Amino acid sequence: MKVLQSAFADISRGLRMRSVWMALAREDIGDQHRRTTLGPVWLLINYLAFAGTFVVIFGDNHSMPHFTAYVATGLFVWLYLTEVITLSITLFTREESFIRGTTLPLTVYVMRLTMQSVIRAGYALAGCLAVLLFAHTSLTIEWLWSGLALAMIVVATPAAILVFAIAGAFFPDLSFIVQNLMRIGTFLTPVFWIGPGQGIRGAFYRWNPFTYFLEIVRQPVINAEFPTRPFGICAIIVLFLWILAALLLGLYRKKIVFVL
Amino acid sequence: MVSIHADNLGLTYRVRQKITLASRTQRMPAGGRIEEVGRTRHVTALEGVSFSLQAGDRLGLVGANGAGKTTLLKVLYGIYEPTNGTVTIDGRVDALFNISLGFRAEATGRRNIELRGLINGWSRDEIRTRIDDIIEFSELGDFIDLPFKSYSQGMAARLAFSIATSFEPEILLMDEWIGAGDPSFQDKARRRMGEMAEKAGIIVLASHNHALLQRTCNKILELEEARLKTFCRAAEWFEK
């Protein structure tokens, strides 16, 4: 109980300091593109280049009529998840001087990264919508389920960041392990191949938790239906992530400073 | 009424063997004594430190490097949580540890004041109220609207000092006395620090500069290998 109280104290203080992490996140995005002519529009171009390459190289709209929309939505979610997870691992190491020199709650750093990732994803989302428009995907009321799915992913983001950031602080090699796993994950997750299928591909489709985060956003757009089972699985994963994150935060928030 | 009451304060932490394939070069985040029990190593960074300070007290922390001065300051500030004893603080605590922390090279001086203020916990209104004084004190003039990266070292130090000393602390913690800039600014900075010290309810200053401590402090706390060696009136300590 004391562990959870400690975690909630950090989280509530961090949320109250939203002006800090919102300002820092905006500066981070600005700094990354300050000298470029196109600025953050590069985030949109990067997404379009990536999605365009997948559609042109692997495109098969004859056997799979919604292939362009399938790749556009799947890639959008996958790129977001990859970025959040790989940046989380080194989060507390990057914030070392702040953690050693200020009393800011750890939640401030977590929300700073969440905010950065959401801003970046906003540009990619514009690209995703443009591709869907280009592919003549019908706009239906079921798209609202995709909006709910995106909200669910955003809610899961701080929890996932906390879990990976704490793990990364104690286990620095995790950074390289996760980078490689996420690279391999692009092929083991149904980003551009269609599941479930049989054999090993079917197993990867069913047992890969990322599959369900892609499907809750993708299915309402492509099939105009509410993906009940994927939503249920994602809700359980999000709940589990938050419980784990709260426990880890409560246990380690005052110990992180000694392992950096 | 501001006060600090530390009772049998202790900080011990385990040196975690990070699970890594890289060579093991371990840094200790705080000083202190290392004790090995089997394969586990513990660092005692503070042990049995008790003292009380009331409004008007100026405490000088002395001791060799690694004796625990910075650790004690960080415990009082709340960065480290004590593992033994209690510390009861009445009053808002401000610290001047690393005054250049968090400055952004690409942002203007003005934007850096806003960001630094937010990090310090100031409200937007407080930032608005203080910003003109900070700019004036820093003597940056029109440079304030240029990127921080275009500043000379002296200009950057002046801005950092002006922001760091623009509040009225109830309890002020300092790891060495701070100063900045060219000789004329240093005089101004010295006066500002003096005024700040006068206004503060309590000051805790860690320093190796005995002349400064003699001039500033009325009490001395001496640490040796993480333990309290002496806590007495400054005059008494300097007579020894």
Calpha distance B116→B164 (Å, rounded) = 9
Span B121-138, mean pLDDT? 92
Q: Is the pLDDT at A163 greater than 90, yes or no?
A: yes
Query: Who has greater pLDDT, A99 or B34?
Result: A99
A39-48, A56-65, B206-215, range with the lowest pLDDT: A56-65
- Determine the Cα angle at A200 with ends A194 and A202, to 5°: 40
The answer to whether residue B97 neighbours chain A at the CB level (below 8 Å) is yes
Contacts of A258 in chain B (CB under 8 A): 13, 16, 29-30
Average confidence (pLDDT) over A133-141: 90
In this prediction, residue A167 carries a pLDDT of: 96
* Position B31 confidence tier, pLDDT thresholds 50, 70, 90: low
pLDDT band at A56 (very low <50, low <70, confident <90, very high): confident
Residue-wise pLDDT for B143-170, tens only, equals 999 999 999 988 988 998 899 888 878 8
pLDDT, tens digit (0-9, with 9 covering 90-100), for B70-108: 999 999 999 999 999 999 999 988 888 888 788 998 899
pLDDT value at residue A40: 85
Residue B115 has pLDDT above 70, yes or no: yes
Give pLDDT tens digits for A12-25.
Answer: 999 999 999 999 99
pLDDT classification of A4: cutoffs 50, 70, 90: very high
Best of B46, B106, B120, B173 to substitute, by most chain A Cβ atoms within 10 angstroms, is B106
Q: pLDDT per residue over B47-78, tens digit each?
A: 999 999 998 899 999 999 989 999 999 999 99
pLDDT at B21: 60
Say if residue B25's pLDDT is above 60. Answer: no
Report the pLDDT value the prediction gives residue A226, as an integer from 0 to 100.
93
Complex ipTM value: 0.84
Position B166 scores a pLDDT of 87
Task: Locate the domains of chain B by residue range.
Answer: 3-92+205-239
Instruction: Give Cα separations from A119 to A28, A44, A45, A113 (angstroms).
Output: 10, 11, 15, 10
Whether the per-residue pLDDT at A70 is higher than 80: the answer is yes
> Is the pLDDT reported for residue A192 higher than 90?
no
The nearest alpha carbon in chain A to B105 belongs to A31
Query: Which chain A positions have a beta carbon within 8 Å of B83's beta carbon?
Result: none
pLDDT surpasses 70 at B20: no
Which residue is it, tokens 């105009």? A224
Domain B3-92+205-239 has CATH 1.10.150.20: no
Q: What share of chain B is helix, strand, coil (3-state, %, to 5)?
A: 35, 30, 35
Please give the pLDDT value at position A32. Answer: 85
Give percent of chain B with pLDDT exceeding 90. 50
Range B192-217 average pLDDT: 86
Cα A167 to Cα B168: distance, rounded to the nearest angstrom: 39
The answer to whether residue A125 scores a pLDDT higher than 80 is yes
Ordered by start, the domain boundaries in chain A are 2-28+40-259
CB contact under 8 Å between B101 and A97, yes or no, is yes
Pairwise CA distance, residues B237 & B221, whole Å: 9
Mean pLDDT calculated for residue range A78-103? 94
> Which among B177, B169, B170 has a CA at the least distance from the CA of B61?
B177
Chain B residue whose CA is closest to A27: B107
Q: Which residue has the higher pLDDT, A215 or B28?
A: A215
Q: Which of B15, B33, B40, B35 is nearest to B25 (CA)?
A: B15
* Exposure on the CB side of residue B29, measured as CA atoms within 13 A: 24
The tens digit of pLDDT for each residue in A223-243 reads 999 999 999 999 999 999 999
Is the model's pLDDT at A64 over the cut of 80?
no
Distance from CA of A34 to the nearest CA of B (A): 8
User: What are A84's two structure tokens?
Assistant: 């959040």
Buried b (16+ CB within 10 A) or exposed e, A56-90: eeeeeeeeeebbbbbbbbbbbbbbbbbbbbbbbbb
What are the helix (H) ranges across B61-182?
Answer: 69-77, 109-119, 124-138, 153-164
Contact of B206 with B73, CB cutoff 8 Å: yes
